[in-house]
Amino acid sequence: MELAAAEKFVLDLLGSRLSETLYYHGLHHTLDVVSAALVLAKEEGIEDGASLKLLKTAALFHDCGFINTYKDHEEEGCRIARNQLPLFSYSKEQIDVICGMIMATKIPQSPQNHLEMIICDADLDYLGRDDFDPIAATLFKELEVRQLVTDINNWNQIQVKFLEAHQYHTKSAQQKREAIKQQHLNKLRQPK
């Protein structure tokens, strides 16, 4: 696995091809997920180098499908990963693991193993962080441009339903993020 070369490829791709109206799903989000995934992996006791490389690769590629499509971007991200990762000495088996992680992030999340649980929690790490409001505002703006939300009240209702249904999958994320996520949910439930 030539992780450094694969990382350069996907960061260059995202930097040059992502729409400027991806206010939430921009390059900054991918970098945030990579960082959160590696922190969570350490907290979850993942120490073997191969697993960490697979996790980092999946985090780097998890939203690359947005360069071509908004809907079903996970499937497109897997297609891109399957085309590109063999060029960086990733085996079919490794790519299958990576695509499993990418597909696990599709909402509603459905992780089937520990690495998939970690990437799912990393992808939605912000739900239980202090920077929730500014990040959520970027997602509102991104969805508004695509006419997928109508106004802020509609958006707040969507957020309440999403937060009520969401669960962190790893013990580390549950301990670190759940209480703050509940505070955000309670705030959103208050009448405006």
Q: What is the pTM of this model?
A: 0.95
Q: Distance between CA 149 and CA 23 in Å, rounded?
A: 14
User: Which residue shows structure tokens 């908004």?
Assistant: 70
Percent of the chain with pLDDT over 90: 96
Mean pLDDT to the nearest integer, 160-188: 96
CATH, domain 3-189, list 1.10.357.10, 1.10.10.10, 3.40.50.1820, 1.10.3210.10: 1.10.3210.10
pLDDT in tens, 94-147: 999 999 999 999 999 999 999 999 999 999 999 999 999 999 999 999 999 999
Q: Distance between CA 87 and CA 89 in Å, rounded?
A: 6
Q: Distance between CA 148 and CA 163 in Å, rounded?
A: 18
pLDDT in tens, 13-44: 999 999 999 999 999 999 999 999 999 999 99
Cis peptide before 108 (omega within 30 of 0): yes
190 pLDDT band (50/70/90 cuts)?
Answer: confident
Q: Distance between CA 167 and CA 131 in Å, rounded?
A: 19
55 closest CA partner among 46, 64, 63 = 46
